[in-house]
Amino acid sequence: MKRVGFIGLGLMGRPMAINLLKAGFHVTAYDRNDHKVQALVQEGAAGAASPREVAEAADAIITMLPNSPHVKEVVFGENGLYDALRPGQYFVDMSSISPIAAREISAKLAEKGVAALDAPVSGGVEKAEAGTLAVMVGGTEEAFAAVKPVLSAVAASVVLVGPPGAGQTCKLVNQMIVAANIAIIAEAMTLGKKAGVDPENIFQAIRGGLAGSQCLEDKAPRMFSGNFKPGFRINLHAKDLANVLETSRELHVAVPLTAQVMEMMQSLLNDGHGSCDHGGLALFYEKLNAVSLVRES
C-alpha cells in the first residue's frame, strides 16, 4: 500500500504528511486552504482539488480535521469521499472526534466495502514533526494490520485498542488525564511561588519522584518562560473535553475533575487565549491569584 490520501494540512497534518513522503509513500493531499496544498506539493506530494479526487487517487485515506462535523462533511458532503470510495480501500480518521460519530462513519463506510479506522493521536506538534506520535486505533484486526505500516511512518507507538470508536474513546481518556495533569501543575506551582519558593527549584526537586510526568516535563518549563506557542491549542483541547462531556452524559458517568478544567478553559477562551498552548492553563491561575509563574529577571 503506497498510495495514501491526506486531508487536513494544519499544525498536525502538515508534518504528518511530510513524514509519509519521507517514508516513501505517494501522498495526494487536500486542504480547504489551497496554499497549504501547494506548499505540500513543493515537498513532493500530489495536490487534489477536492476530497473526491483524493479518494480516486489513494488506497488509504487519512483525515486530520478539527471535529466530527468537519470529518462528516469531508466524507459525505458535496465532492466528498463517499461517492468515489471503492471496495478494498481504507479510511483512517486521525482527528479527535466523538466516538459516536466514529462508529456512525465506520458503519456507513462498511456498506461500501471500505474499512474504517479511528486513529487519533497524542503528542502535539513537536512529536508530529519528529514522527514519534502515539496512535490509538479503533477498528478490525485485519484493517489495522493492513494500515499499520502507514501509521508507523508518523508514530512511535501504534496500538489497536478495540472495535470502531475505541480509538476515539481512548483519546478522550488521554485528554482527560492531560488536562487535569496540566491544571494541577499550574495550581501547585502557583501555591509554591506564593509561599516564597522558586517554582523552578520545585520542578527540579519533584521531577524524579512520583509527581514526575511527561506533562510536568513539557509544560512546567513553558509556564516558567511564558512561552505558550502552541504545541496543542487550548481551543482544541476544549473541543476534546466537550466530546468527553457529551460521551459521559450519554453513559451517565460523573467526570467532575474534567468538568472543572473545562470551566477553566472556557475562562481562557473568553480572555482570548484560545490559540495558546494548553500549558496556558497557568494563565487562569495567574489571573485568579495575581501571581505569574514566569521567572523574574
3-state SS assignment for residue 161: strand
Orientation angle between helical segments 99-110 and 166-194, nearest 10 degrees: 160
**CA 136, 140, 143: angle at the middle one, nearest 5?**
85
Taking the C-alpha atoms of residue 28 and residue 43, their distance in angstroms, rounded to an integer, is: 12
C-alpha cell at 200: 523552578
Taking the C-alpha atoms of residue 227 and residue 279, their distance in angstroms, rounded to an integer, is: 9
Residue 157 near residue 194 (C-beta atoms within 8 A): no
- Annotation says 22 is catalytic: no
Letter for the amino acid at 54? V
**β-pairing verdict for 155-162 and 26-30:** unpaired
C-alpha cell at 263: 470551566
Taking the C-alpha atoms of residue 186 and residue 215, their distance in angstroms, rounded to an integer, is: 11
Alpha-carbon separation of residue 43 from 35, 56, 154, 238 (angstroms): 13, 21, 16, 32
| CA–centroid distance for 91 within its chain | 17
For residue 289, count other CB atoms closer than 10 A to its CB. Answer: 13
**CA 72, 77, 81: angle at the middle one, nearest 5?**
80
C-alpha cell at 38: 501547494
| CA–centroid distance for 191 within its chain | 30
Q: Which of 36, 171, 193, 239 is catalytic?
A: 171
Active site residues: 171
